[in-house]
Structure 1
Amino acid sequence: MAPVPPEKRTRGKSAFVTYWFSDLVTILTWSFGSVMLTIGLTATDAVLIVLVAALCNAVPTVLTGAIGSNLYISFSHRIAREFRFGVPTANGGTCVVAIINSIWPNFRTMANHLPESVGLTTAGMISYFLYWLAQFLFQLISTHKLQYMLWVKTVLLPPVTVGMPIWVAVQAGGNGTFFTRPPAVHGSERAWLWLSSMTSITGGYSTLAVNILNFSRFSRDPRAVNIGANAVSFANDVTTLAPRYFNIIVASGKAFLDFMSAYAIFMAPIAGALFTDYWLLKHRKYDVPTLYDLYGIYQYGRYGINWRAAAATFVTIIPLLPGLANKVNSDLELTEGLRNLFTFNWLYGFYLSMYLYYFANFFFP
């Protein structure tokens, strides 16, 4: 948790470019585009929504990342990182199933000894463990040395990224009307779906807007971080603890987008307060040694709680809770206004918490 010493600040511009690329080109990113087609939007809509959502998240990500690249301090995330590889490992386990099936077809018919309520088969569990075991040793590599692995990944991913869509298009007999097919929804319904999908993607990647300084603190030059886009997120990794329910969620495109958008109601207010504190209130001037002093100027009273940030966060979240409850249980009645508010919860959460935190410090310095 201490500031990164100079000898470990090894990441330059190329390291961040490869890092962003390796995280953007993932199954999760592709899943966003595909599920939007299932709710009535077009392929063109999906491409534009992903680009706009990336921009909405890239701005706060770069601004909060400046904290790490200038001060070389981190955002406390030791607990969160335990969940970071949950869903990627689950996806990797699925790939291992396909590989083993192609080599040993009998693996496909392996008897299942796990109860149905688990939502996972014996073959799936074996594959998950094999993939976890294969990547375990890589977890022991020091963070500041990971850029070499990212360079390798950047070389391997482009041909796979280009080759897979080409293979799918050939198998399907061409793209047909994929990009020219009209939308299945129109008018205001399409507009709200557009905004809801954008919020889902922004929410899915919103974690990085909060903990980006865990990566940017290893940069040699503060400008290196600004080269990249935005990507990494453990938005839905906690659901790996309950794969049965995760399988239910991904079975429906709309449910998947609803789940990802719900995550933003917690991340957006935190990102807004973090941005405001560093850029607007402290004017990029933190006393780094005092940050580690229990009785320093950042003590925030007897209990060590910055009540201004806590108040801004909770006040922002409360109006969104009815919308979250409605996503969990659609039988709950909800006014159209609250439903529409939840649709753009990322923009609402980020900017409202930013203003609330700023004025709370202005009137109660």
Structure 2
Amino acid sequence: MLVSPQDIRWLFVAKALIVPVAWLAMLIWAFVKVPATSGFFVQHSTLTGSRLSWAWLSSLNAALGLYSTLAVNIPDFTRYAKDERAQYVQLAIIPVAFTLCGFIGMAVTSVGIVLYNRVLWDPLHLVDQWDNRAAAFFASLAFALATLGTNVSANSLSAANDMTVLAPRYINLRRGQVICAILGGWALCPWEILASAQGFLSFMNGYTVFLGPFAGIMVSDVCHVHVSPLRFYPSFRRAQYWLVHRGKVDVPAMYQPHGRYRYTYGFNWRAVLAIIMSVPPTFPGLIRSINPKIKIGGAEFLFDVAWMFGFCVASIVYSTTSLLFPARRTFMEQPIISDEILDDANEVEKPSNRSLT
């Protein structure tokens, strides 16, 4: 909280260098302790038929929930990039890294079952069983660094950015992070979420009820009011807001509370309708995940695919209503970029060509 986001890159560089080494070391330890030929994965699903299919979809949805926060708050970090090419590395790294993390988690947990006769799905509980105190210390240190970096990127800074938009007069980034620490660290009792694997997965599924629709609307059209003192970066030059405005956006107006993207009293009714159509249908499943005694019938299966359902429904509803009932003030013949960028590129446009009302 005391370090500016522009200066915190060192933390993520350290995380990128240290944490993967710890993961791979644990995977090597697992293969040495229990070779794959001697029965590596000792637990198998007892589900069959449609129950197995829905359980698989539920697990996929939980995995999506784990990373759905970054899917919607990644602009909180890409705004600091030098250009849009800086993010392309994610196309290669993210699928490989996420797949490797998932496999290491399954492999190491399976070894824990063989060695300790317990399902130690939390790696810190597994590390606690080691006899080598030095190895346990360095592994725990790596996981502490991973936890810190993940919370800074996925929770602290993103929540602080949202709070600055809600009350820019009273909340800055540092104050927003303090509020997030108080709410997320104590008021919401996060230790209850981590009490069991099932509770953790249910919480991850609960995330997807809201974040899936948010992502669908953002992919369709991310033009919205965002008050920020930050300068406009060249990464907006070839930004593609795919379905509705097709990249023809007014970047400075995104930072103006009463600009062309204010819509109706600050609300875009098309986005509101998309949320109404996509979020409530999955609510019964969310309620049952909190209290399994509540019977909701077949609605629980919709909750198992909440992210995919919300993403698809929200994007379809928002795109359809935006094209059938367009907010004409927001459509332009050419994109409008900040004057600073235009001057740097010697591409200053005439005022008459800047917008189509």
TM-score, shorter chain, exceeding 0.5: yes
**Distance in 1 of aligned mates of 2:11 and 2:253:** 35
Report what 2:323 is aligned to: 362
**Distance in 1 of aligned mates of 2:46 and 2:191:** 26
**Which among 271, 293, 299 is matched to residue 262 of structure 2?**
299
Report what 2:313 is aligned to: 352
1:271-286 to structure 2, matched below 5 A, reads 271-277=215-221, 278-286=241-249
Deviation readout 1:173-197 (Å, 9 max, x if unpaired): 5454233654332222221111101
User: Counterpart of 2:246 in structure 1: which amino acid?
Assistant: H
**Distance in 1 of aligned mates of 2:211 and 2:260:** 26
Give the direction of change, closer, same or farther, for the CA distance of 1:197–1:308 in structure 2 (3 Å limit): same
Give the direction of change, closer, same or farther, for the CA distance of 1:182–1:287 in structure 2 (3 Å limit): same
- 1:185 matches 2:47: yes
Deviation at 1:296, TM superposition (A): 2.1
**Distance in 1 of aligned mates of 2:251 and 2:288:** 43
Give the direction of change, closer, same or farther, for the CA distance of 1:296–1:153 in structure 2 (3 Å limit): closer
**Which among 334, 340, 344 is matched to residue 296 of structure 2?**
334
**Distance in 1 of aligned mates of 2:307 and 2:67:** 11
Deviation readout 1:183-212 (Å, 9 max, x if unpaired): 332222221111101101101211111111
User: Counterpart of 2:318 in structure 1: which amino acid?
Assistant: Y
Matched-pair contact (CA < 8 Å) for 2:65–2:207: yes
User: Counterpart of 1:264 in structure 2: which amino acid?
Assistant: T
Matched-pair contact (CA < 8 Å) for 2:34–2:40: no
Report what 2:137 is aligned to: none
**Which among 62, 73, 76 is matched to residue 214 of structure 1?**
76
Give the direction of change, closer, same or farther, for the CA distance of 1:296–1:250 in structure 2 (3 Å limit): closer
Q: Pairwise CA RMSD of aligned residues?
A: 2.6
**Distance in 1 of aligned mates of 2:188 and 2:270:** 37
**Which among 68, 76, 85 is matched to residue 223 of structure 1?**
85
Identity of aligned residues (%): 35
**Distance in 2 of aligned mates of 1:330 and 1:180:** 29
SS at match of 1:330: coil
Report what 1:258 is aligned to: 202
User: Counterpart of 2:287 in structure 1: which amino acid?
Assistant: A
Give the direction of change, closer, same or farther, for the CA distance of 1:164–1:284 in structure 2 (3 Å limit): same
Deviation at 1:169, TM superposition (A): 5.3
**Distance in 1 of aligned mates of 2:74 and 2:259:** 25
**Which among 318, 321, 329 is matched to residue 280 of structure 2?**
318
User: TM (normalized to structure 1)?
Assistant: 0.55
Report what 1:288 is aligned to: 251
1:79-228 to structure 2, matched below 5 A, reads 139-168=1-30, 173-174=34-35, 176-179=38-41, 181-228=43-90
Matched-pair contact (CA < 8 Å) for 2:277–2:313: no
Single out whichever of 253-262 and 223-232 deviates more from structure 2: 223-232
**Distance in 2 of aligned mates of 1:291 and 1:247:** 38
Greater relative contact order structure (CA < 8 Å, 6+ sep): 1
**Distance in 1 of aligned mates of 2:15 and 2:257:** 42
Single out whichever of 205-214 and 160-169 deviates more from structure 2: 160-169
**Distance in 2 of aligned mates of 1:243 and 1:295:** 35
* Higher Rg: 2
**Distance in 2 of aligned mates of 1:282 and 1:243:** 39
SS at match of 2:293: coil
**Uncovered stretches (5+) of structure 1, i.e. residues with no partner:** 1-138
**Distance in 2 of aligned mates of 1:325 and 1:164:** 37
**Uncovered stretches (5+) of structure 2, i.e. residues with no partner:** 99-149, 160-179, 222-240, 327-357
User: Counterpart of 1:296 in structure 2: which amino acid?
Assistant: G
Deviation at 1:307, TM superposition (A): 1.3
Give the direction of change, closer, same or farther, for the CA distance of 1:219–1:258 in structure 2 (3 Å limit): same
**Distance in 1 of aligned mates of 2:74 and 2:39:** 40
Give the direction of change, closer, same or farther, for the CA distance of 1:259–1:158 in structure 2 (3 Å limit): closer
**Distance in 2 of aligned mates of 1:241 and 1:186:** 41
**Distance in 2 of aligned mates of 1:297 and 1:248:** 44
Deviation at 1:298, TM superposition (A): 1.3
Give the direction of change, closer, same or farther, for the CA distance of 1:297–1:239 in structure 2 (3 Å limit): closer
